[in-house]
Amino acid sequence: MTRPAGTLPLDQLLQHEGFGTRRTCRAMVWSDRVTVAGVLAENPDVRVLAEGTPYAVDGVEWVSRERVYLAMHKPLGHEVSRKPQHHASVFALLPPELDARGVQPVGRLDADSTGLLIFSDDGNFIHHLGSPRHAVTKTYVATLAEPGTSAFVHALRTGVQLRDERVPVAAASAELLAADTLRIVLTEGKYHQVRRMVAAAGNHVLTLHRPAIGSLAIDERLPEGSWRYLEAGEVAELGG
């Protein structure tokens, strides 16, 4: 029997979407907990499109996605880790089904920083955005403890020496938006890089916010702690 291209049995799709083991997903269908395109599903073996099928589990609506791409407005006091040590995890802000899919963050933001986080279960996409070889920009805005100077900005642009680094590390760009506000763009993702660079240049970061990764700017109307799916065009512009 010919199987339609791009389809999966319903139970396998539910498993892929993070709803549990295939056995659990079959039981969900048999228990009348699943609808597909508004119709109660009765057969867990029925084939559905892996991309774009509207369905609901326990009344919660979803659309099937072969790969997921998410943007989150990270709030203060959350660690970008599945095993946080001192704060809540950003993964607790996502539906458990997305966490179960194994979505991973592109880079990190420390607990005292806010801004754009991107998540995906597409390994090639994550590698592209995180690899220094592709030089995808990450933009940060930092509030400084002391007013910045032209010498301070020049040092960031030309390179500062960080501990455990063999050569000086330079920003792709750096400018003062106000006397105590720095916008800095990096193409790397070293541990606490902005804070360490600012300290090496003779200042100190009080607050740190990441408004953009590559071509994607955070939607400031997205409340801190909230997330959304990326549109296909946004993923393509990022290199997905």
Give percent of the chain with pLDDT exceeding 90. 85
- At residue 28, the pLDDT reads 97
Strand 34-36 to 39-40 pairing: antiparallel
pTM of the entire predicted model? 0.89
- At residue 26, the pLDDT reads 97
Domains and CATH numbers, the chain: 7-63 (3.10.290.10), 69-132+215-238 (3.30.70.580), 137-213 (3.30.70.1560)
For the stretch 95-151, pLDDT in tens is 999 999 999 998 889 999 999 999 999 999 999 998 888 889 999 999 999 999 999
168 is written with which tokens?
């000086």
Distances (CA, A) of 32 to 23, 26, 42, 58, 161: 15, 10, 7, 9, 62
For the stretch 164-222, pLDDT in tens is 888 999 999 999 999 999 999 999 888 899 999 999 999 999 999 999 999 999 987 89
Catalytic status, residue 58: no
Of the residues 11, 58, 110, 219, only one is catalytic, namely 110
Which are the contacts of 199, defined by CB distance < 8 A and separation ≥ 6?
A: 205
202 is written with which tokens?
């003779």
Q: How far apart are CA 206 and CA 216, in angstroms?
A: 25
Nearest alpha-carbon partner for 142 in 174, 166, 172, 187 = 174
